[in-house]
Structures are given as structure tokens and as C-alpha cells.
Structure 1
Amino acid sequence: MDDAEPVQPSLNSSYIPTAHDNHQVSEDEDTEDQSPAASLLPKQSSVPLAVHYSPEDSYCLVYLIFFLMGIGSLLPWNFFITAKHYWHYKLSNNTHGGSGGEQRSDLSDYFESYLAISSTVPSVLCLILNYLLVNRLSPKVRILSSLFVILLVFVGTTVLVKVDVSGCRVEFFIGTLASVAVVSGASNLLSGSVFGISGHFPMRISQALISGQAMGGTLSAVASIADLALAKDVTDSALAYFLTADFFILLCIVMYLLLPKLPYSRHYMLAATCASPGVMSEGGAAAGTGSTASIPPLRPILKKTWVLGLSVFYVFCISIMVFPAVSSGILSVNKDSSSPWTTTYFVPLTAFLLYNIADFCGRQATAWLQVPGPTSRVLPLLVLCRSVIVPLFMLCNYQPRNHIHTVLFTHDVYPVVFNCLLGLSNGYLGTLPMIYGPKVVPRELAEATGVVMSFFLTLGLAVGSAFSVLIVHCI
């Protein structure tokens, strides 16, 4: 084996380094060869059979670690947006009378809209920075630094839960938005870096990461509802809520440190190193080893992925237009009744839990069904059809209404159905392009393509969040 000539990766190559010792053919390799994205790749008849061997993912540990990293990458943002009752309590005109004595204020009414902007705009800048640093800083440095920044901000947020801010609500509002901006920037640096390295693994690993992101939203929604049910005081509920987030962030740090020690992950990280001896130039030729710290070429990536990137952009643009700024403002039409379902639990269950469960189901479905394929025109067509979701939410019982007074959907079942539809379509149509992207480019560009696809996603969130503010003010 040592005397064999090294295999040179070609365009769209699925090159994997030669296996050694007791490596076996893994099931995910066979699975990936049958995937729609893999069908685009030319068969490498000149590649020795041994290169298709790899260690097994024992106990699915690598899958679970990437699933957990997916949870950690979006969990901070989800914990911020799901704590709706806590923010309204802190930003209300009366924080001395408990949760029952809240009085609405402009700060609390429009908090979700401003939170969406503060979380997405810095994320775009961080993803641009991530692309520039993809060959200059190792993924380990980028991922661990992001996790520690997120942990630091969340510890500060947890401490402020028991601090009385009734005399400085505006300052607390600004500080919270600044914290959200920092956390979102670090989260997107984390997400882009993890998704980038997942591009070197079989498609099931990328799918695990994206499913984990959806699970992060589900866990935050479940934690929020559990805290509302178990804690009598808003601040006690929020304290337990944010401590849960602190624990998960710490767990992500520990599990990521474990990742390089596993034979399965070491094998594919070695594959990335061997397949990328130099960064490709714009013309497609591999640069020398002295160019390994240069910026990855953008043109060949966009040439292969621009349709997929625009699909991701539009999917998340539409989703953030209505979630959470509009969906969390839709109240039960029976809110005046004394039932806890219509007063306390309606918004957490319909706007957050149902949406996140549906989103998770949509993302998980891509593990078994990957239709339409990466080159199909049906995919962008389905993405465009999601535009109808926006007026459907606007015509539900969103409150307060200052301009559009017509409520067309006057039953509580409508927001339930619409949130499920929003989550399912977001999960499925948003995941397919994300997992296709790194598979339709040369392996040496897989990590940079993962960052580019994350950039399209975050840009869609940034643009959609700006429109969400406009929609809230128009209603």
C-alpha cells in the first residue's frame, strides 16, 4: 500500500484515503453512493477498492455528536426567542406585580421583531468572516471560541434574571439585543464551521447536524413550557430555563473535544486533508502548498450551487418573516376565558413547540426521502410556493392590530395548521439544498461550500427579519 501512487481527486470526486488495518466498508458509504447528490458524481473506476473502506461509526457516536452540535448551534437563539413571557415581564411597565400584573409597552410589543434583526444582521458579517478564515484558522479554533463566547453571554443572561431592571428597562432592552447579536454571530460562526467540516463526511452526518438544529428549537420550546408549568414565578422559571441552556453549551464543548479521538471522524478528517493539498485557484487548478492559507475560490462554488443557495435563502427568508414575530403574536380567539390553554399555553404550544416539532420532522424526513434532486427545477418552484404562508399568518388573530383589522381565520385550529405547515416545509425544503451543496462541488471545496450555504441561509434570515418588522407594523 505504501508503494502505490497517491490518488488525485478530480472534479466532484468522492475520494477517500486508503484504509488501513482493520477498516471495514461502512454502511453510510453505501448509502451515500445511492443518494441523489452522489448520482451526479462520476464513477472513479481508477480508484482502488481499498479507498472505499472506512471505520465504522461505533454506537453512532459521531452521528450523535454532530446531532448535538446542531442542537448547540441554534439552541442559544431559540432560547432567546422562546422566552417570550420572560422578556415581556422584564420589559413591561410593571414588573412588581408578578406575571399577572404585566402591562404591555412598546418595548415588549415589538421585541421579537427587533430581536430578529439584531440576531441575523451580525450573523451575515460573521459568516463572511468565517469564509475568509476557513483556510486561516482551524475549525477547532473557530468552533471552540464560538462556544466559549456563547457560554459567557448566557452566564451573564442567567445572572441578570434575578436583577430588578424596572428602573432601566431601555438599557436592559439594548443590552439584551447586544447579547443576542453577539450570541447569534458566534452561533453562526459555529454553525458554518461545523457544517463545513460535515461536508467531508457522508451525507448522513450533514443530515444529523441539520436535524439537531431543529431539535434545538424543540428542546427550547419544551423547556419553556415545562418551566411555565412548574415554576410559579416568572423569574424562577427563566432561571431554570437559562441554566438548561448553560448545561447544553457545556455539553457541546465536551463532546466536540471528544470528536477527534474517534476513529471514524479521524478517517474523514484525514480524507479532507489528503483531498485538499492546496486551495484551488479560480481557474480550477490546484494551487501549491503555499496557498493553503488563501481564501477559497468563490466562483466555482457559486457556479455549482447558486440555485441551491437561492433556494435556501428564500426558504428561511419566508420563515423568519412570520416566525416568531407574527406567529408568537397570534392569540387564542377565546383568550378571555379562564382556561390555561387559551391564556398561558396557547402561544408556547402553537407558535414554538408545534413549529419546532414540525421543523424537526421535515428535516428528519430528508434522511429517507431526498426528492426533488439537486438539479431539479421542482425544488425552487416548491420554495416559491411557500410565499402564500405570509398572508395566511397575517389574517389570523394577531394582536394588537392597528391597521389591518380583518381577521379571516377566526378559529384556533388555523394557527395550529399554519405553524405545522410552516415548520414542515421549512425543515424539508431548507435541508435538501443544505445537504446537496457540499456534495456537488469538488471535495477540496466542501468545507468552503458549507460556509457559503450557511451564508445564504443567514442572509435569508437577515432579509426576512427586516420584512418581519414591516409586517408587524403594517398589521
Structure 2
Amino acid sequence: MVQCDEEVKKDSFNLTFILMYCLGTLAQISGSIFPNAQLYWKYKLRDIGNPWNPSSNATTDLQDEFTADFALVGNATTIFALIISIIYTRRWNIVNRMIACFFVYIILFLIIVFFVGIDTDSWQRGFLYLTLFLIFLISCTNAVFLVTLFQMCSKFSPVYISAILSGQALCGIFSSSLQILTLSIDAKPETNGFLYFSATVAFVAMVCVTFVACMKYSEFFIYHVERANPKNIVKVDIPKELVFSIWKRQKFVFVSLLLIVGISSMVHPGITATVQSTGAGVGNKWNDTFFVPVITFFVYNFLDLVGREMALKVERPTDEIPVLSLSFIRIVLIPVLLFCNLSSKHNTRVLFNSDAVYILVIILFAVSNGYLTNICVIMLPKNYDGSDKDRAVTIAMLFFLLLLGSGVFSFLGLALLKVM
């Protein structure tokens, strides 16, 4: 029997807070681990008629197809599967859904690990389609996981929602660190792939164990999860008037979040990953090998996390209009980025022929993304009407906008790359 709210006063040893960080990391892992394992995919889809050259900037049709199709399959499937999941799975037991997602994640990533050691040179296109099918299944699982996570956290305070969002930045640090490690030890492509995906399996297993431990030992976590479970929700009818009322009260925060997440998803990693060092191609290992993984991925995600943590400490500004203005101003960074040293495949003029300019843009994008996102989440409770339903619907609308902004603007970023 779960104790009453007055008796469950604090999160002992911050176990639930740590778990939320891990769950946020897991929510982002499928979208982060695949792009960072680029050396492995480049090897698997290489031109087998020519010697393997990992330093070459030339790409095959299959390599380009994988990059484009991964984004298309991942984003389209997630958005579609989210809608299906919201309709059909939200009434299922939250704990059972969460554990089922953990096991499906582990099985699918183990299949990917299995094919790391398989010679696929004779059926490269078949391997490409198989991989995209596995990405499709992982995206479907991720959609169920996200719906479950958002439903579960609807009964927690905004601090725990911020932990989930910060965990997403932590995922980028995790995957980019793996990439830098494998490049530092000059790991073979197969070793690169094995390290990436076996580490992912180990991480999912660790999160699963932590989740089960919290369900068994943390009264704070048990109490809030049971409050969110569908069987304990007497009525789920949501009147349109409530949705419109929440929008009216939270519209500036919601629009700010849509701009923040949308602009960031539009440029990172779709556009930022195509930027090369101005000194690339002359044999310098930093410029040719480490510039993109360190600056574009590790530095971006690290500073994104720093920005999120700063917001939790500073909690300024407290007014919605300055936050909306800052969110909108970030748009000016997009043309600056487009005139940096993009890959030669894109016919853009290089106006900022300096790595320092690009690094400054990455710093501004990352810190502002993390800081403003958490500031918006912190501001949400100011406009609650005090009821549990108002809070739950507000959080549901928040995550829907985050996912919508991420998916739609990612497509816009891909479209922008196509016409450049």
C-alpha cells in the first residue's frame, strides 16, 4: 500500500531524479547513437570495388541514402507511432509498458550487434533495408516509450521534467564520447559498431534495473507512478474548454518552446554535421578526424547540458515576453551557420572561412537551447489553475509540442539541405 502524499515528502537519495535523467537519455538514444556511429555505416555501405579509406570525404549512393532515409524513417515513424500509441496504449499499465519497452530495445539492439560481425558486402542494399526496418521498429518502440514516460511524469513536479530534458543532452554526450573514443584508438569499423551498440544494450539494461529498483524501494517514485497509472484515473475526458484555457494561459511559453526546439532540430545535427573544418584535407588529424565529433557533437551536447543546469540555478528571466524574444532571436544564427564551411556537396558560398565563427555559433546554439528550454519548463507552474488535470494536460501539451517541433523542423532542415 502506497503511503499518502503527506508521508511521501522527498526523493530519498535522489533516486527518482537520477532515474529521470536516465529515462531522458534513453528517450533520445535511438536518434543519437545511429548518426554518431557514422564510421561503421560508412564501412558497411562503402564502395567494395575500391580500397577502404576512412579518411575520404567522398560518399557512395548507399551512404547518402542511409543518411537521408534514417532521418526520414526515424522522424516520420516516431510522429505516426506517437499518435497510434496515444490512442491505443495509454490505458495500459505504465510499469508493464515501460518494462516491455526496455526488453524490446535490448532485443532490437542485440540484433544490430549480431550483424556487426556478419559480412554484408554481397548484399549491401539488403543490409540497408534491414537496418532501416530495425530503425523503424526502434522508432515505434520509442514512441510507446515516450507516451509512457510523458504519462508517468505528468504527476511529478517540473524539476523532474527538466531532468528528463537534461537527460536528452546527456545522451548526446554519451554517444559523442563513444565516437571520440573509437576514433582515438583507431578502432576498426566493426569494433566501432560493436562498441556503440553493445554499450547501448548495457545502458538500456542498467536503466531497466534502476527502474525496477525504484518501483521496489522508492516510496516517492511508487506513489507518483501509481497516481499516473490508468487504473487509478477515474475519468480521462478532457474538455476542449480546458485545452483552450491552458493554451491561453501558456501560449507564450508554448510558442517559445516550439521555436527553441524547432530551430535547434532544424540545424542540429542535419546541417551542423555537414560543416567541415576550414583546414580539412591537408592531413591534420584534428581537422580531418576530430573536428566534427568534438565540436559538432560533444561540445554542442555538453554546453546544452550546461545551459539546462544553469537555468535550474539562475531561473531568470521570469517573464514570458523576454523568453519569447530570445527564442525568436536565435533564428539569426541559421544564415550565419549556412555560410560557414559546409561540405563541398552543397553549393553555398563560404562567407565565414573560420572555424572560430562556427564554434561560436555552436556555443550560442547549444547554451541557448538548454537554458531557454528549462526556463520555459520552470515557468509552466506559474499558470497552473491548481488542479491535477490542468497540470497533466499542460505537460501532455508541452511534450506534444516538443515532439511536433522536433519532427516538423527536422524535415525542414533536410529540405533546406536538399535545395542547397
The answer, yes or no, to whether TM exceeds 0.5 is: yes
Q: Does the C-alpha gap of structure 1 residues 156 and 309 become closer, same or farther in structure 2, counting only changes over 3 Å? A: farther
What corresponds to 1:473 in structure 2?
A: 418
Post-superposition Cα deviations, 1:137-184, rounded to whole Å, max 9, x if no partner, equal 222233223222222221121122222333333333333333323323
1:323 is aligned, of 244, 264, 268, to 268
What corresponds to 2:224 in structure 1?
A: 268
What corresponds to 2:332 in structure 1?
A: 388
Range that drifts further, 253-262 or 131-140: 131-140
C-alpha displacement of 1:306:
4.2
1:418 corresponds to 2:418: no
The one-letter amino acid paired with 1:324 is: P
The 1-side partners of 2:168 and 2:69 are apart by 22
1:179 corresponds to 2:122: no
The 1-side partners of 2:117 and 2:196 are apart by 13
What corresponds to 1:108 in structure 2?
A: 63
Is the CA contact (8 Å cut-off) linking 2:315 and 2:378 kept in structure 1? no
Range that drifts further, 318-327 or 190-199: 190-199
Q: Does the C-alpha gap of structure 1 residues 219 and 454 become closer, same or farther in structure 2, counting only changes over 3 Å? A: same
Post-superposition Cα deviations, 1:2-23, rounded to whole Å, max 9, x if no partner, equal xxxxxxxxxxxxxx9552xxx4
C-alpha displacement of 1:283:
7.2
What corresponds to 1:293 in structure 2?
A: none
Q: Which runs of 5+ in 2 are unaligned?
A: none
Post-superposition Cα deviations, 1:344-374, rounded to whole Å, max 9, x if no partner, equal 111111111011111111222222133334x
Q: Does the C-alpha gap of structure 1 residues 445 and 159 become closer, same or farther in structure 2, counting only changes over 3 Å? A: farther
Post-superposition Cα deviations, 1:389-409, rounded to whole Å, max 9, x if no partner, equal 2212211111124432x1011
C-alpha displacement of 1:214:
0.9
The 2-side partners of 1:279 and 1:272 are apart by 11
The 2-side partners of 1:233 and 1:390 are apart by 36
The one-letter amino acid paired with 1:384 is: F
Post-superposition Cα deviations, 1:198-238, rounded to whole Å, max 9, x if no partner, equal 23223322222211111011111001111121243111122
Aligned with 1:344: secondary structure? helix
Q: Does the C-alpha gap of structure 1 residues 278 and 345 become closer, same or farther in structure 2, counting only changes over 3 Å? A: same
Q: Does the C-alpha gap of structure 1 residues 109 and 366 become closer, same or farther in structure 2, counting only changes over 3 Å? A: same
What corresponds to 1:75 in structure 2?
A: 29
| Identity fraction in percent | 23
Q: Which runs of 5+ in 1 are unaligned?
A: 1-15, 24-53, 285-296
What corresponds to 1:93 in structure 2?
A: 47
TM-score normalized by the length of structure 1: 0.79
1:279 is aligned, of 236, 240, 244, to 236
Is the CA contact (8 Å cut-off) linking 2:312 and 2:374 kept in structure 1? no
C-alpha displacement of 1:435:
5.1
What corresponds to 1:213 in structure 2?
A: 168
The one-letter amino acid paired with 2:22 is: L
The 1-side partners of 2:185 and 2:141 are apart by 32
As a proportion of its length, which structure holds more helix? 2
What corresponds to 2:311 in structure 1?
A: 366
Is the CA contact (8 Å cut-off) linking 2:154 and 2:228 kept in structure 1? no
What corresponds to 1:51 in structure 2?
A: none
1:312 is aligned, of 249, 252, 257, to 257
The 1-side partners of 2:76 and 2:240 are apart by 32
Post-superposition Cα deviations, 1:419-475, rounded to whole Å, max 9, x if no partner, equal 222211221223333455577443135444433322211211221222222222222
**Structural RMSD (CA):** 2.8
Is the CA contact (8 Å cut-off) linking 1:282 and 1:299 kept in structure 2? no
The 1-side partners of 2:10 and 2:270 are apart by 44
Q: Does the C-alpha gap of structure 1 residues 437 and 197 become closer, same or farther in structure 2, counting only changes over 3 Å? A: farther
The 2-side partners of 1:145 and 1:456 are apart by 26
The 1-side partners of 2:184 and 2:389 are apart by 50
The 2-side partners of 1:399 and 1:359 are apart by 24
1:399 corresponds to 2:343: yes
What corresponds to 1:462 in structure 2?
A: 407
What corresponds to 1:8 in structure 2?
A: none
Post-superposition Cα deviations, 1:249-287, rounded to whole Å, max 9, x if no partner, equal 111111112222211213334555799543355177xxx
